[in-house]
Amino acid sequence: MRIAVTIVVILAVLFGAWQLFDHAVMSGKLGTERGAGTIIGDAVPTAEIIGRQDAVQSATPAGREKQILFGDLHVHTTYSTDAFLWALPLNHGKGVHPVADACDYARYCSAMDFWSITDHAEASTPARWSQTKDSIRQCQARALDQANPDMVSMIGFEWTQVGNSPAEHFGHKNVIFKDLDDDKVAARPIAAVGAAMDALRNNAFGMPTIVSLLNFEERQVYWDFNTYVKNVQAVPLCDAATPSGQLPADCYEAAATPGDLVSRLEDQGLDPLIIPHGSTWGFYTPPGTTWDKQLRPEHRPEAFPLVEIYSGHGNSEEYRDYRDVAFSEDGTSGLCPPKTDTYTPACVRAGEIIEERCLAKGVAADDCAARAAAARDDAANMGIAYHLAVGGEEPDEWLESGQCTDCFLPAFNYRPLTSVQYGLAISRFEEDGTLSTRFNWGFIASSDNHRARPGTGYKEVARRLNTEAGGVIDPKYRKIFLDDETPEDAYSHRRTREELQAIAGFQLTEIERQSSFWQTGGLAAVHTEGRSREAIWDALQRRETYATSGPRMLLWFDHVDAEGDTAPMGASVAVADAGTFKVRAAGSFKQKPGCPDHAVSALGEERIASICASECYNPSDERSVIERIEIIRIRPQVSADEDVADLIDDPFLVHACPLDQAGCSFEFTDSDFAAGSRDALYYARAIQEPRPTINGDPLRCERDEEGNCVKPKLCYGDWRTGDEDCTSMKDVRAWSSPIYLSYQAAISSE
C-alpha cells in the first residue's frame, strides 16, 4: 500500500512538473526575443559601383542619359511569422535571419542598388518596428556618399490580407516609405484584419513543447519562437474608432480593406508606395476572386501605381479564360466547371480521385459516380481547402489540376481573374454606363524571400536558401502542420463544411504540393537620373520601371508621337494615332562561380558561406542573348459586357532577334488604334535564352502518349526531395511597364 501511494505521489509530482514546464514553454517564459542582428559589411568600393554603371552604359542606346538600377522591394526576415517557422530546424531551417543579414546580402551577395524590408505587419511589435527602422538606418549609413550611395535601403511593411471568400479577399500589399525619419514612416505597421491576424493572436498558436524535447539540441530556437508569438499577443489592440494619427505608438493597428489602409496612412500625413503582389497565388486566394471589386472608389485604386508582376511565388502576368470554380446565379454556391484541353479544375480532379479509389474497391460504377459528384460539389465549395474533400489525399494525386499549364513559371493554383492582364483589361462604370475607374499600373518584380535575402535570382543555386523551399525533416513532425491520417473509407470520405470550419492554419492549404512552385525571385528595375534615394523614388512614382524574372536584363520601351515627342515606359499619352513605339533589350551578364574578391574581403569567408551560400552576383563580360521580343496589347473595356478575353492580344507582335550579345531593337506601330477610336495600352516582354532554373518545370510530369500527366515528380521541401535543386531549362524574361494611349480624336485644322 505504501509503495502504491509513493508511486501515485511521484506521478503526481511529475505531472505537476510537466504542466509547469509546458506552461513555461507555451507562454514564452523560457525564450528570448531575437534582435535585428549586426551588419558586417561597409559600403561597396566606389570602383565597383562605377564598373556596374559602365557595364549598363556600354549597352545603352546613344543619347540616353538615365541609368538603370536594380532592386528588390519585397523582403522578409524572421520578424515575419512564416519566415520564423521556416527557419526552425524541424523545417530544414538554418536558424533565424535578422534584418542585418538582409543588408549584407543585398550589398554583397546580390549586389542590389536599392531594396526595402517588408516584414508582415501582423507580426510586428513596437520593439520590432523600432529595431527594424534602426537597422535600416544603420544599413543606409554605411554608404560613403548619401547623395550618390552604393545602395539605397528603404523601410516598409506588408499588409497581409486573406479573405475566406472572393467577396472578402483583397490580397497582399507592400507599403514602402521614401524616407527613414520617424515622422516620415508609419508610427506602427498596419496589420490586415482577417485570417493572418486572427491566427497569430490566437492564444493556442505556438510550437508544441514536445518538439523542443524531440529536437533537444535546438530547443532554444523553439522556445524563442513561442516568446516571439507571445510578444505579439501582448500588444493591445488599437482603438478602431480613434484616427490613426492620434493613436499611441504601442498598440496593434489593423485595417480591414485597401481603402481603410490608405486612409489610415493618410491620417498620419503619409503618402507611401502601396504595391499589390502575389495576386494569382492560389495558396491563399479563394477560387473565383477577381480584381473587379478593388476598382470601387472606396478601395482607392488610384493609390496603387505599381504592381508586382513576378516573384519567387511565381508569375502573375497572364490571363486565361478557364475558371477554377463557377457560382450559382445567386452567388451562394460553388459549381465545378468542366475541364478543358489545357486546364483541369481541382474540383474535377477531386471527383476523379474518389471515383478511381471507389472502382478499385469493386464498388458499383453508379455508386462511384455518385460519390465522385459529391466530391466535386464539396471541393467547389471549400475554397483553398478543396483538397480536404478527399480523405488521406497525397500531393501527387492531384497531377496538374488547378495549374496553368501553359503560363510562364505560374503561381501555384493560378487564379486568372486576379492576373495583371485581367486587371488592366477591366474597367468600372457608373450606373449610367460612363467610365469610372481603371488600373494604370507600372510593373516591378521582387523576391518575396523569407530568409533575409533580397535579389536572389542572380544564380539558380541553393534551393533551400534562395527560394521558400522548406518542410519537416522527418515524417514524425508532419502532424504538427498537417493531418496525415487516412480514413478507412478513403474512397468516399469527405470533410463536411462543419468539420472544415473547425480546422485552422496550414491544414487548410496545400503546403506540400506548393513546394514545387517556389522560384528564386525577380527584380525591380528603374530608369533614373542618378543613384540617390530621391532619383529612385521619382522613377518608381512615374512608373518608369520594369520587371525581370531574376537576372539583370536591360530594357527600354518608348513612344514617339506625331510631333516627335518621346514618352518612356509607364507614361500615359493622349493621342489621335498610335505613333511609333521603340524597343531595345540586352541580355544579362552570364555569371562566374563563387564571389568577387571585394565581397569576400568585406564579409569574410564564413559569412559569405552562411548568407550567400558562397555564391554571389559575379558577372563575366559575356552577355546572354535575347531570343525575341513580344508586344502585348490590351484594349480596356469600354462597356461592362465586353469579354476580357477578346481585349488581350498576347502576343500582339513577335520580333525574332538575331543571336547577338549586343542586344536587340525594333520599332512598330498599331495601324488599328485610330480606326478603333478607343484607349489601348502596350508593353514589351523580352525573352532571354534559357538557363537551368529551380522548379523551371514545377511538376516534372511523366506523360502518356497523349501528353497527359500521369505521374508528377514533385520537388518537396521536406525530407523526400533532399537538397536537390530541381532545375530545368527555362527562359528568362523582362516586362516593361505599359505605355497607356488615351484616344483623343484629331482636331480638324479647317
Question: pLDDT value at position 9?
Answer: 65
- Rounded to 5 degrees, φ, ψ at 499 are -65, -40
148-166: per-residue pLDDT in tens? 999 999 999 999 999 888 9
Residue 593 lies in a domain: yes
Query: CA-CA distance, 252 to 207, in Å (whole number)?
Result: 23
Read off φ and ψ for residue 229, nearest 5 degrees: -65, -45
In the chain, how many domains are there? 2
Q: Which of 148-162, 469-483, 502-516 has the lowest mean pLDDT?
A: 502-516
pLDDT score recorded for residue 494: 59
**Same domain, residue pair 376 and 451:** no
More confident residue, 442 or 165: 442
Q: Identify which has the larger pLDDT, 183 or 389.
A: 183
Q: Is residue 16 part of a domain?
A: no
Q: How far is C-alpha 354 from the geometric centre of its chain's CA atoms?
A: 33
Between 120 and 201, where is the model more confident? 120
> Does the pLDDT value for residue 493 go beyond 60?
no
d(CA 320, CA 414): 10
Q: What is the CATH number of the domain that holds 257?
A: 3.20.20.140
Domain check: are 528 and 587 in the same one?
Answer: yes
410 lies in a domain? no
Maximal CA-CA distance, the chain: 118
Rounded Cα–Cα distance for residues 331 and 308 (Å): 30
pLDDT at 330 (0 to 100): 79
CA–CA separation, 414 vs 422, rounded Å?
13
The 3-state DSSP class for residue 644 equals helix
% of the chain residues with pLDDT over 70: 94
Asked whether the beta carbons of 515 and 714 are under 8 A apart, the reply is yes
Residue 749: predicted pLDDT = 46
Residues 283 and 352 in one domain: no
Closest CA to 559 of 577, 540, 536: 577
Spatial distance between the Cα atoms of 141 and 663, rounded to a whole number of angstroms = 37
Taking 70 as the threshold, does the pLDDT of residue 263 lie above it? yes
Q: Mean of the pLDDT values across residues 571-589?
A: 97
pLDDT beyond 50 at 379: yes
Which band of pLDDT confidence, cut at 50, 70 and 90, is reported for residue 483? low
**Residue 295 and residue 375 share a domain:** no
721: cell is 526531395
**What is the residue whose three cell numbers read 554571389?**
616
Q: What Å distances lie between residue 116 and 75, 603, 617, CA to CA?
A: 7, 21, 19
- Averaged over 305-315, what is the pLDDT? 97
One domain for residues 734 and 665: yes
Q: How confident is the model at residue 262 (pLDDT cuts 50, 70, 90)?
A: very high
Per-residue pLDDT at 1: 66
DSSP assignment letter at 449: B
Quote the pLDDT of residue 16: 73
| Statement: residue 670 has pLDDT above 90 | yes
**SS3 letters across 518-570:** CCCCCEEEEEECCCCHHHHHHHHHCCCEEEECCCCCEEEEEEECCCCCEEECC
**What's residue 503's pLDDT?**
60
373-379's contacts with Cβ under 8 Å and 24+ in sequence apart are: 374/494, 375/350, 375/351, 375/494, 376/336, 376/347, 376/348, 376/350, 376/351, 377/334, 377/336, 377/347, 378/350, 378/494, 378/495, 379/336, 379/346, 379/347, 379/350, 379/351
Look at residues 483, 511, 539 and tell me which one is the last residue of a structural domain.
511
Query: How much is the average pLDDT of 482-492?
Result: 63
Cell of 138: 544603420
Decide if 104 is inside a domain.
yes
Same domain for 507 and 522?
A: no
> Which of 395, 321, 325 is closest to 699 using CA atoms?
395
Q: Which of 349, 368, 351 lies closest to 360, judged by CA?
A: 368
Grid coordinates in use for 448? 518575396
- Taking the C-alpha atoms of residue 335 and residue 380, their distance in angstroms, rounded to an integer, is 6
pLDDT per residue over 91-118, tens digit each? 998 889 999 999 999 999 999 999 999 9
Alpha helices, H only, 70-109: 81-87, 99-104
Beta strand pairing call for 114-117 and 67-75? parallel
Q: Are 171 and 279 in contact (CB under 8 A)?
A: yes
Q: Are 216 and 90 in contact (CB under 8 A)?
A: no
- Secondary structure (3-state) at 208: coil
The pLDDT, as a whole number, for residue 15 is 67
CB neighbour list of residue 125: distance below 8 Å, 6 or more residues apart: 231, 232, 234, 235
Average pLDDT, integer, range 446-469: 95
What is the rounded CA–CA span in Å between residue 687 and residue 693? 15
CA distances (Å), origin 303, targets 173, 434, 598, 681: 11, 21, 41, 20
Q: Which of 453, 481, 511 is the last residue of a domain?
A: 511
pLDDT value for 18: 63
Any residues with CB less than 8 A from the CB of 220 and at least 6 apart, and which?
A: 31, 32
> Do 677 and 562 have their domain in common?
yes
Identify whether 712 is preceded by a cis peptide bond (ω within 30 of 0): no
Cα–Cα distance, 357 to 352 (Å, whole number):
9
Residue 681 has pLDDT above 60, yes or no: yes
- Report whether pLDDT(750) > 90: no
Domain C-terminal end among 446, 481, 511: 511
- Do residue 112 and residue 248 come from a single domain? yes
* pLDDT of 94: 85
Q: 244: helix, coil or strand?
A: helix
743 phi/psi in degrees, rounded to 5: -70, 130
> Is residue 27 over pLDDT 90?
no
Rounded to an integer, the average pLDDT of 483-489 is 62
5, pLDDT greater than 70: no
235 residue type, one letter: V
pLDDT, mean over the chain: 92
Q: Which residues pair with 429 in a beta bridge?
A: 435
Q: How many CB atoms lie within 10 A of CB 141?
A: 13
pLDDT in tens, 380-407: 988 888 888 888 888 999 999 999 999 9
Its domain, for residue 110, covers: 46-320+438-468+517-743
Q: Is residue 425 part of a domain?
A: no
For the stretch 277-301, pLDDT in tens is 999 999 989 999 999 999 999 999 9
Q: Both 530 and 542 in a single domain?
A: yes
SS percent in the chain: helix, strand, coil, step 5: 35, 20, 45
Residues 456 and 378 in one domain: no
Percent of the chain exceeding pLDDT 90 equals 78
648/654 Cα distance (integer angstroms): 15
> Please, which residues have CB within 8 angstroms of residue 456's CB and are 6 or more apart in sequence?
110, 312, 447, 449, 466, 467, 520, 521, 550
Nearest one of 389, 200, 473, 418 to 308, comparing CA atoms: 418
Q: Residue for cell digits 529612385?
A: 536
Q: Which helix (H) or strand (E) holds 613?
A: none
Angle at 294 between CA 289 and CA 297, to 5 degrees: 155
Q: Is the pLDDT of residue 553 over 60?
A: yes
Nearest to 243 by CA among 263, 270, 258: 263
Which of 169-183, 376-390, 621-635 is predicted with the least confidence, judged by mean pLDDT? 376-390
> Does residue 131 lie in a domain region?
yes
Q: Are 421 and 373 in contact (CB under 8 A)?
A: no
- Looking at the fold, whether 494 and 567 belong to one and the same domain comes out as no
* Range in 120-129, 174-183, 407-416, 495-504 with the lowest mean pLDDT: 495-504
DSSP state of 417: G
Model pTM greater than 0.85?
yes
The DSSP string of 2-28 is HHHHHHHHHHHHHHHHHHHHHHHHHTT
Residue by residue, what is the 3-state secondary structure of 158-171? EEECCCCCHHHCCC
Look at residue 112 in the predicted model and tell me its pLDDT: 98
Chain segment 722-744, per-residue pLDDT in tens:
889 999 999 999 999 999 999 99
User: Is residue 494 in a domain?
Assistant: yes
For residue 443, pLDDT beyond 70:
yes
Q: Are residues 488 and 547 in the same domain?
A: no
CA distances from 471 to 29, 127, 484, 726 (A): 27, 29, 14, 15
* Res. 453 pLDDT band, cuts 50 70 90: very high
- What is the Cα–Cα distance from 575 to 668, expressed in whole angstroms? 16
749 part of a folded domain: no
